Amino acid sequence: MSAIITPFPHPARVLQVGFEREELQRILDLYGRMVAAGEWRDYAMDFTADAAAFSGFRRAAERPQVRIEKRPALRSKQGMWTLFGEGGQVLKRGHELAGVLFPLERRLLKVVV
């Protein structure tokens, strides 16, 4: 009697890109501050094999005001983080999430006299 050995399935690549806990915490912290400032009212997240995206909406029925996208395939090139504007234009690219979120965080800064 001969035994047939079936190898354990080993995925060659990741099936879905996602946010790490620290990244998601930073993004949701920004979302909460944007809601408190009256800028955003809703959000959506999208996870595919190539990218993970977070979109912030003024109103749920509109296009997103901004989209924060993580593409690990671009890590060694222009950076895996991209900030897109409402019309789909690239506002900022970078290797670090903090640098890409800075234009949004700058909107929340207020001068106190």
Instruction: Spell out the per-residue pLDDT of the chain, length 113, in tens.
Output: 677 877 777 666 557 889 999 999 999 999 999 999 888 999 999 999 999 999 999 887 788 999 999 999 888 888 899 999 988 899 999 999 999 999 998 888 765 55
Q: For residue 76, what are the domain limits?
A: 21-107
Alpha helices in 1-113 (DSSP H): 21-36, 97-108
Q: Is residue 15 part of a domain?
A: no
Q: Is residue 4 part of a domain?
A: no
Q: Is residue 84 part of a domain?
A: yes
The token pair at 9 is 């399935």
Q: Is residue 112 part of a domain?
A: no
Q: Is residue 31 part of a domain?
A: yes
pLDDT of residue 28: 95
Q: Is residue 57 part of a domain?
A: yes
pLDDT of residue 102: 93
- As for how many domains the chain has, the answer is 1
pLDDT of residue 54: 96
Q: Is residue 10 part of a domain?
A: no
Q: Is residue 90 part of a domain?
A: yes
Cα separation, 20 vs 24, in Å, equals 6
